[in-house]
Amino acid sequence: MRTPLVAGNWKMHLTPQEGASWIAAIAADLGATGIPDGVEAWVFPAFPALPAVIEAATTALPSLRVGAQNLHAQPHGAFTGEVSASMLTAIHAQGVLVGHSERRAGGETDDGVRAKLAAAEAAGLAAVVCVGEDLPTREIGAAEAWVSIQIRAAFAGRAPVNPALMAVAYEPIWAIGTGRTATAADAAAMHATIRRTLADIGQPADALRILYGGSVKPDNARDLIQAGDVDGLLVGGASLDPISFANILRAAAA
């Protein structure tokens, strides 16, 4: 049984103060019971907001996990503007997104993704590795082949990962921030392909969670999470509003 994982990717939004207010607001909305039973919840703030969000969550919503949106594969060095895994663990971040399509569009390669996943694993950070095709790739019928290649590249040469510390997020690029969502059937088909690919390469496919992302909102969250092989949701825009994120958590738990 895979525990549903729902994650908010705040992207380049929310200052430390706004992040702490977000925590206060969602904690108030969820009430004494906190994160709904049976759901694992994460937020991924921008780097400057991480300490404030981690501190606010520790007191107001301790079961919420907090991670970064990126890391560098090297432990330290002359890498201006970069942040290492050990810097993240030093501030008690628990995880990291790797290979988001917005970073791949900025030049992040499959090799870079693989190296970052290894760095996260070595530091004990949970990682969510993001994959997904663009619209032309889907239109020529090559989406599943494309995503399988991304999965094989991300996990190449890896011993079986710990499924508690790794998840895959399928985010079709054409659905991110566009209001256009994959149908539950499309998501289910792609997630089944990803799971088969993970099994083929010796990863613990039955235990690994595969999240869907791309214009997830409170009103489509339930349909998506009920689709076959969908084990969670990665939410961008709708996660910036704490009440809408709380409602997505409720939908995932229902």
Q: Active-site positions?
A: 100, 171
Q: What whole-number distance in Å separates Cα of residue 56 and Cα of residue 63?
A: 12
Q: From residue 153, give the alpha-carbon distance in Å to each of 16, 42, 149, 164, 221.
A: 35, 25, 6, 21, 29
User: For ligand PGA, which is the closer residue by CB, 39 or 176?
Assistant: 176
What is the DSSP code string of 16-52?
A: HHHHHHHHHHHHHHHGGG-SPTT-EEEEE--GGGHHH
Least distance (Å) between residue 78 CB and ligand PGA? 30
Q: Which C-beta is closer to ligand PGA: that of 84 or that of 101? A: 101
Which residue sits closest to ligand PGA, CB atoms considered?
236
Nearer to ligand PGA, 148 or 220 (CB): 220
Query: In whole angstroms, how close is the CB of 105 to ligand PGA at the nearest point?
Result: 11
Print the SS3 string covering 84-124.
Answer: EHHHHHHCCCCEEEECCHHHHCCCCCHHHHHHHHHHHHHHC
Task: Tell me which residues touch ligand PGA (CB under 6 A).
Answer: 9, 171, 176-177, 213-216, 234-238
Task: Give the residue from 192, 222, 211 showing the smallest Cα distance to 100.
Answer: 211
The minimum distance between CB 10 and ligand PGA, in angstroms, equals 10
Residue closer to ligand PGA (CB basis): 148 or 181: 181
* CA gap 128, 95 in Å, rounded: 8
Please give the full DSSP string across 186-234, using - where no structure is assigned.
HHHHHHHHHHHHHHHTTS-TTTSEEEEESS--HHHHHHHHHSTT--EEE
98 half-sphere exposure, CB direction, 13 A CA radius: 34
Closest CB 157 distance from ligand PGA, rounded Å:
27
CB of 130 to ligand PGA, least distance (A): 7
Residue with smaller CB distance to ligand PGA, 90 or 105: 105
